[in-house]
Amino acid sequence: MTRETEEMLVRQAYEAQERAYAPYSHFMVGAALLAENDRIYRGCNIENAAYSVSNCAERTAFFKAISEGERDFTAIAIAGNREGNPGDYCPPCGVCRQMMTEFCGKDFIILMAKSRTEWKICTLGELLPESFSL
């Protein structure tokens, strides 16, 4: 993956973050999912007063892509922080990691953004080494 692609994905994740609906946690998350055909699907977290109905940004992006017929993915960028405050790296939660495992191999790339210019990269295999899959 080129530095230019990484920058573009992180930028798209921050743009998605602007649409987050998080009136309870005030933790805004955006994700930009890159399909193998170079199409990008963005997602944001969407909270609900009934907590279990809430959805993470990563899964929102995956659900959008899958509902459009995508099944092959290359990478995802994730940006998250409390409303307007500088954040730290934003790793996907366990549920999102398992969701990624359903559609992506261990080499799937995850960019965790700390800012628009700073992020770290790992693979799904590094974040979820003993994943459950059929």
Looking at the annotation, which residues are catalytic? Answer: 58
How many beta carbons lie within 10 A of that of residue 49, not counting itself?
A: 8
Long-range contacts of 37-46 (CB under 8 A, 24+ apart): 37/70, 37/72, 39/65, 39/70, 40/9, 40/12, 41/65, 41/68, 41/70, 42/12, 42/13, 42/15, 42/16, 43/16, 44/16, 44/17, 44/18, 44/19, 44/20, 45/20, 45/21, 45/80, 46/20, 46/21
